[in-house]
Each structure stands twice: as structure tokens, then as C-alpha cells.
Structure 1
Amino acid sequence: MPTKVVFFLLPKLHLLDLAGPAQVFSTANDLGHGYDLYYVAEVDEIVTAQGIPVKARLDWPELGPADLIVVPGWRSPRFSPQAPLAAVTKQRLRTHHAGGGQVASVCSGADALGAAGLLDGRRYTTHHDLTETLAARYPKAQLIRDVLYVEDDRVITSAGIASGIDLALHLVAVQRGAEAAARVAREMVVYARRNGDELQESAMLRHRGHVSDLAHRVQDVIDSRYADQLRLAELASGVGVSERTLTRVFTAATGLTPLRYQQILRLERAENLIGHGTTIEAAARAVGFEDARMLRRLRSRPAAG
């Protein structure tokens, strides 16, 4: 079943807070990853902070634990004593989360989650201009500064404006895999990052911050077949260039040779398997190494960029 993503819209919402994440999930759906988008409000038309009216539905779709509610930011909680949210909407947010669902916010949308009681006892972030206001308003929550997004017990908050794209790409990566998120980022021509408040980034996203179509096409092949024995000649033939040209363009775009990129993908997947109890030997075989010697050698190297 497709994941339902409900955007709850408040008056004077910021367009990019809504459009950025909506584009991510819409693009993911276009690529076959199953997302249905809904736009709900307490009135049937919202005028954005940028002056554009947006139509919304008043009724909510039926939601399950796999579904997501996103509250985009609006202008601005600094000028109102509390989030302009009806009691029934606050209860709906609480009920969805209590039933196992995810709730997310962009920018000042964190104020809505706080008003619903969903920030209490949890870590969160928001736009840097709003940190002092929300820290005072929700003293039971732990504000995390200077990060793109924070996830705590199915409550996901992001910083300001464009960070909603990063949050949505992160959710696609978690729900549908890093390869899916990388493809979405490529389609949107954005720098794909998953750093949030985490220390690790998937190589599938970390090395997509370029605009070389040829390198992206080769990465698409390696991402989907990283456990296979991929010859440079096969990769070059697939994109219609010489091996020398492929190596030059790919290295300039990603900072890695195609082989090194594949090794990093294998290593990351193997580390994930080992972290979940798989033996080094079994992990090596699962990611395409003939034996564990190469995996051990790669694990002993300094972390790749």
C-alpha cells in the first residue's frame, strides 16, 4: 500500500516549506515508490505568506501507522502567543502518533507539534530565528541547534525552509532505501544530504552532489548492482563512452573511481549487516566479495569521504 503523506496547512504558510517536501514525495511516487499526497486545513483555502492562495480539503484520509503527517511552517510564531491550531487538530496529531504513525514539521511547524504536546520529553529543531521563542514556549523539550533535522520517537523536525527537502529525502531513504532517495535527489537536481543530527551519511547520497548526467547514470547502475562483478568496460559501454572518459568524468564528479565507489557501497552494506549480527564472512559474501579478506582490508582503512 502507498504511504499516505498528509500536509496540514496553516494560514500564511511558507510555500517552500510545503513545496519542497511535497516535490520529494511526489517525485518518489513518480519513480514507483508509492506515496499518496493530501493537503488538509481547517479552512478550505489558505493564503500563503507569499500571497498565493492554496486550496485544501477539510476532511482527513484514514491514516495508519505507516503514514505521515507533515506540518509546514508559517509566518510566524514569534508574533502569536500560541500555534493557531484547533483543539481537534492537536488531538488528531496526538492520536496519529500514539497509533504508531510519524509526524514531521518544517521550520515553525515545530510550534504546532509543541502545541499538541508532541515535543515534550523529545529532541527537536527549528529555524534559527525561532529557537529562543520555542525553547521558552516548550521547556520540557530539548532543542537541538545548528542541525538540518532531528528524529526522536517518530517525531521529526527540521530547521528552516529548504531543510524540508533534506528531511523528506531522509524519510524516503529510511522508508524506501538510499538508492530511491538518491534517484529522487537526482531528478530534483538538489544536493542530496542526510546528515541531520547523524554522524553518518550514505555514500549513495553523499556522492550525488554533482550535475554530471553521465556520472549519475553510472551511479544508478552501481547502486542497483553493487554486489555484482561490474567491469569498467561494461559500465563505459552502457553510457556510450570510452573507459578512459568514464573514469575521468566519474572521478571529477564524485572524487572516486567507479571501483572505489562500488567498494564503499559494499563496505557500508556489510557494516550494516555485521552490526545486526551477521558474521564477517557471511556479510562479505552477501555484498559480493569472494571471501572476507578484502572486506577486512577495507574495514581497516580510514573512513572514505
Structure 2
Amino acid sequence: MSHVVFFLVPGVHLLDLAGPAQVFSTAAVFGHPYTLTYVAERTEVPTAQGVPLVAGLDWPELRPEDLVVVPGWQAVTLADSPEIGAPALRALRDHHDRGGTVASVCAGAEALGRAGLLQGRHCTTHHDVQDELARRHPGATVVRDVLFTADDRVITSAGIASGIDLALHLVAARHGPAVAAKVARDMVVYARRNGHDAQSSAMFRHRSHLDDTVHHVQDLIDARFDHPLPLPALASAVGVSERTLTRLFTRATGLTPLRYQQTLRLERAQHLIGHGATLEAAARSVGFEDARMLRRLRARAA
């Protein structure tokens, strides 16, 4: 079980907090337990939206596998941000020094900067305060026009809803893209990409739809893409005809079920080849009888 600690600053934006919290609590429902804790420098924390929150004052004992998230807060400029005491900044810094991951949403990057965690690292924040963040923390490399950045266990996101993207990224890194896609589907949100990196998996690229039947079939393919998956069996599993399944799947993803499975096989094979596997070994590992089909798919993708 991993611990996720949210450090709350007065004026915190509810969605900056609730979005990532929902991602991790949903992941827990799907069998990946997380304990969520909320800490602050005072028990009652006012929010930007007027709903007061209650938080603890004591930080739990954290391990390297645990995560600390600093949601953003309401401020016209970062210079107007609330004061953050030395003990809290030290807690952020110490957790990272011990091998833990620290993340921020929106203006929360300012807290990481004050803790010294942006020095020499790439980061981002809300577009309204990106230039100010760069001025206030000249040792940081502020990346514009991305949803989030990840640099040496310091994860920063652009603001508001992008905190969901950040949290989905962390779930994917820990449990695989299929789990993150399942969480995104349950939350009825798009599984979006960083904004400048290539999308990491077809499991994300082709999940930005709301067709439950197609998602169910994708779940089946994701879990067994290296096995034969006849169209009649997939159609039977979701209670539709083969023709209906092909029509629904193509409309939702732009691919047929077979082409989707081949895409997953190709991505996995490319990963194996990049890590030293031969073409033949990679082909067999992902379910091809030999390397001929893999060669064709690679040539088509080139």
C-alpha cells in the first residue's frame, strides 16, 4: 500500500486537489491500494471556492514509494502566494532526498521551488504564471505548453484539470497504462498525453471515447494481446454481433479490433527490440509465429 499525502495551502483550488485524489482513490477501488492523507499548517484550510477543508497537522512517516502532492492555490501572482513554513518545506525536501516522489499542480510548483526542488530540473505550471516561476527560480527550466513534466521524481503540472493527467501518468508508471486507462474510463475523462512527448501507448491513444462496449473489448485485448483473439469470441464476450462490434470499435478508435491488437503487439515488440531482443524473439514474445508479420507492421509504421 502506498501513501499519498496532499499538502494544503490556504486558498487551495478544489479541483487541483480533488482531481488527483479521485484518480488515486479510484485506483484503490481497482485493487491498487492507496492511503490518502491531507496535511496543512493549520487545521482548517480555506479554499478558493469557499468550502473550508479540515486537515491534519502531523506528517505521516513516509517511505520512498510514497507520494507527496502540493495542489495549487488562488493567487494573482506567485509573489502573492501564502507563506509556507520552514518545517513544511523541509518535509517536502526530505521526502525527495529519501527517494520519494514530490508532485505539484498549478501554483503548487512555487512550493517546490521554495523547497529547492526545482533547481536544475524541468518543470511547468499554469500558463499565467510560467514566466514568473522562471524569474523566481532561475535555476529551473520552465517548460511551456505542456500538461506536465517529470524530472528526477519531481512532477509538475500546468494547472487545474491537468492534475488529473499528472495523477494518471503516475498510476500508469506504477501499474501500467491499462490500469490508468481503466481509471480514466471510470472517471469519464480523457487519458491525455504530456503535450510534447509522444504518446506512450495505444492503450491511451485509443481510449478517448465513451463507448462502454468498446472499452470492454479493449480491456480484453489489452490483457491478452499476445494471444489469438478471434473476432467471434470478442463479439460473444460483449453480447453483440461481429459486424456490430467491428462498426462500434472502428467508430470509437479508428481501428478494427485486429488492427488495435496488432498495434499493441508492435509497440511491445519495438520496446523489446530496443532493449536488445532479436526481431525473431520479439515477434514470438508478442504472439507472432515468426518475424514476417512483425517486419510488415514495422515497415508500415515507418
TM-score by length of 1: 0.96
Equivalent pair of 2:9/2:82 in contact (CA under 8 Å): no
Q: Is 1:226–2:217 an aligned residue pair?
A: no
Q: Is 1:155–2:154 an aligned residue pair?
A: yes
Partner secondary structure for residue 37 of structure 1: strand
Show CA shifts across 1:182-239 (max 9, x none).
1001100111113344223311011111111110110010011111100000000000
Q: Is 1:184–2:183 an aligned residue pair?
A: yes
- Match of 1:210? 209
Q: Aligned partner of 1:291: which letter?
A: D
Q: Aligned partner of 1:193: which letter?
A: R
Equivalent pair of 2:69/2:104 in contact (CA under 8 Å): yes
Equivalent pair of 1:149/1:197 in contact (CA under 8 Å): no
Superposition deviation, residue 57 in structure 1: 1.0
Superposition deviation, residue 18 in structure 1: 0.3
Larger CA deviation: 74-83 vs 91-100:
74-83
Superposition deviation, residue 149 in structure 1: 0.3
Separation (CA, whole Å) in 1 of partners of 2:55 and 2:192: 30
Separation (CA, whole Å) in 1 of partners of 2:195 and 2:38: 26
- Match of 1:257? 256
Q: Aligned partner of 1:51: which letter?
A: G
Separation (CA, whole Å) in 1 of partners of 2:143 and 2:12: 23
Show CA shifts across 1:140-168 (max 9, x none).
11110000000011100000100000010
Superposition deviation, residue 295 in structure 1: 1.1
Count of aligned pairs: 302
Larger CA deviation: 56-65 vs 238-247:
56-65
Equivalent pair of 2:124/2:156 in contact (CA under 8 Å): yes
Identity, in percent, stands at 66
Superposition deviation, residue 49 in structure 1: 0.3
Aligned-pair Cα RMSD in Å: 1.2
- Match of 1:23? 22
Separation (CA, whole Å) in 2 of partners of 1:83 and 1:205: 37
Change in 2 beyond 3 A, CA 1:236/1:8: same
Q: Aligned partner of 2:137: which letter?
A: Y
Superposition deviation, residue 83 in structure 1: 5.4
Equivalent pair of 2:78/2:110 in contact (CA under 8 Å): no
Larger CA deviation: 103-112 vs 289-298:
289-298
Q: Is 1:297–2:296 an aligned residue pair?
A: yes
Equivalent pair of 2:78/2:107 in contact (CA under 8 Å): no
- Match of 2:104? 105
Larger CA deviation: 154-163 vs 188-197:
188-197
> Could you list the runs of 5+ residues in structure 1 that have no partner in the other structure?
none
- Match of 1:165? 164
Separation (CA, whole Å) in 2 of partners of 1:82 and 1:108: 8
